[in-house]
Chains A and B, each alone.
Chain A
Amino acid sequence: MRSPSIRALIAAGAALTCVTASAQTTPTRPALTRPGVLAAPATVDPGARPPSPDGIDWRGAVGGLRQSGNTGPGLGRGLDPAAVDKTKLPILLPADADLMGGARLYSFGDYYSITANLSGARVSLTGAAETTPLPAGSKLNLPAVGPEQLVVQRTVDGQLASFVRYGVLYTVELRCDAPSDARCRTEGFVRGLVAKSTVVVMGKAARQAAGLGA
């Protein structure tokens, strides 16, 4: 009879300790504040653009930035401004304010990963400047490669789409909490996200690389 009560009290103490301990853990996620997303200038001097050894089509990316107009800064409002500025890539976002609200950007400079929440699912968006070559004898068994090398792959918990734009390898991945979630069992939802991935955001490093000045 006494055992459960004692166990409960011990567990209660442990629970309090855990709560206290976790409260002392320093989060490494940067604070979500207003980003320093810069608007594209009205004109770009092609002569001022540096060569692009990184293989990125900066001219195309700047075109995308212009087309995004004021959408980019609005959509990117929740992203960590320091991470945006550090990213030496055109950041590509789906034109979906609900999805992008509260999205988190993790930047490695030449690679970024954004995580955004949906009800019962999450979306990851990545951009990579470089790819690793496969061995010469390896062949990729792909059912269909769409425009911009779009490939959609079914994963254990969702759908992974990748495509190449501006010389950057982008991914849009959907991950569902429940394996049975219909959004993750077919390609439609993730293809919809790819279709509306049209908004370009460029921070300081990207602007500099694009010859726009910092």
Chain B
Amino acid sequence: MRAPLVILILILLAVLALVGYNSGWFGSPPVPGAGPPGTPTASGATTPSGPAAEPEEPVGDGGVEQLPDEAQPQPAADPAKTPDAPSAGSFGHFPAGDLIAKSGSGYLDRTVWSPDLCFPFAEAAFANSQVYGAGGGMGPKDKPSQCDSSNYSLPWRDNFCESRGYASPLCVSGKGHQGQDIRPATCKKDLHWVVAAEAGIITDVGTYTVTLTGAAPPHRVYRYLHMRMNQLAVKEGDSVQAGANLGKASNDFGGTPTTIHMHFEIRSGVAGTSTDGKAVKLHTFLPPYQSLVAAYDRKRAGQACH
């Protein structure tokens, strides 16, 4: 009596599964030979897995994070300061504030704003510019692919205060990129885990954003953008430990995909002085680069997150 009903349910599930598979609900098939990535070296020896172009979703659209009406004139960097050289013994990276030429002012800040930051990727990763790098909307014309090896090798490059129309009060013009863009170990989306920067609570999940609020004072707010949102390991209200899986690096951006990367922000309440000399308290964006460098050094040394 119930056999036809069971068969009908199975058929419905099969149809749903096929639709889901073709829509990417279950993620991409495993990458052959995609083992743990090599640890980056000062010579930038980590090898990308090659282009990950998918027929239904062409890559190379890295200008999306900078909307057309948000192109900004390039403010000059503060001439009174020069970037520090990276410390000896660290991995290959440009100093904080040393952005790609004509990509923005940068911010010459050496403060490690999150001293115990857990590096927000489970594997190797590459901090650099997704708009001004290869395959980006403002990138070099002779390097049209976001999977270009230059994006997936050392050295890292800061892109806080890169040219944007968004507010970023620590930047010279008061506007600029509010975080650091980080590419995963390989140019393959929905594969590489993004993890919690510190213990806390997931206080918001949007259509392409995840917000983690740190449990310990000063309760920094970490924002993660562009993960594969239908495959998140967390939901709003979850408590997470430092290093816990949150989701997989992807290119979700509210409908129109961006490049495969994770945009990472550190926000906090700060007390400072405005350019006209007034004392002010506000909640704003802090440069993540130095914290990321220090966290990556700890990761490379095998230190666990806590």
B84 in the interface, Cβ–Cβ < 8 Å?
no
Given A130-B218, A140-B169, A141-B171, A15 contacting B13 (CB threshold 8 A): yes
Which of B55-63, B187-195, B266-274 lies at the binding interface? B266-274
Chain A nearest CB, measured from B97 CB (Å): 12
A155 to B237 alpha-carbon distance, docked (Å): 23
Residues in B whose Cβ lies below 8 Å from that of A157: 206, 208-209, 225, 254
Give the residue of A111, A141, A169 whose beta carbon is less than 8 angstroms from that of B281. Answer: A169
A175 in the interface, Cβ–Cβ < 8 Å?
yes
- Over the window 96-138 of chain B, the binary record of Cβ atoms lying under 8 Å from chain A Cβ atoms (1 yes, 0 no) is 0000000000000101010000000000000000000000000
Instruction: Tell me whether B206 and A175 are in contact (CB under 8 A).
Output: yes
Instruction: Tell me whether B269 and A15 are in contact (CB under 8 A).
Output: no
Instruction: Tell me whether B236 and A153 are in contact (CB under 8 A).
Output: no
Chain A contact residues: over half helix, strand or loop, or mixed? Answer: mixed
Given A128-B219, A154-B167, A171-B283, A140 contacting B274 (CB threshold 8 A): yes
Q: How many chain-B residues does the 8 Å CB contact rule pick out?
A: 65
Residues in B whose Cβ lies below 8 Å from that of A122: 204, 206
Give the residue of B10, B17, B269 whose beta carbon is less than 8 angstroms from that of A11. Answer: B17
Instruction: Tell me whether A124 and B254 are in contact (CB under 8 A).
Output: no
B245 in the interface, Cβ–Cβ < 8 Å?
no
A-B contact pairs, 28 of them (CB 8 A): A7-B17, A8-B14, A8-B15, A8-B18, A8-B21, A9-B10, A11-B21, A15-B26, A104-B236, A108-B215, A110-B217, A131-B268, A140-B282, A149-B280, A149-B281, A149-B282, A151-B284, A152-B167, A153-B166, A156-B263, A157-B225, A162-B281, A162-B283, A162-B284, A169-B269, A177-B206, A178-B254, A179-B67
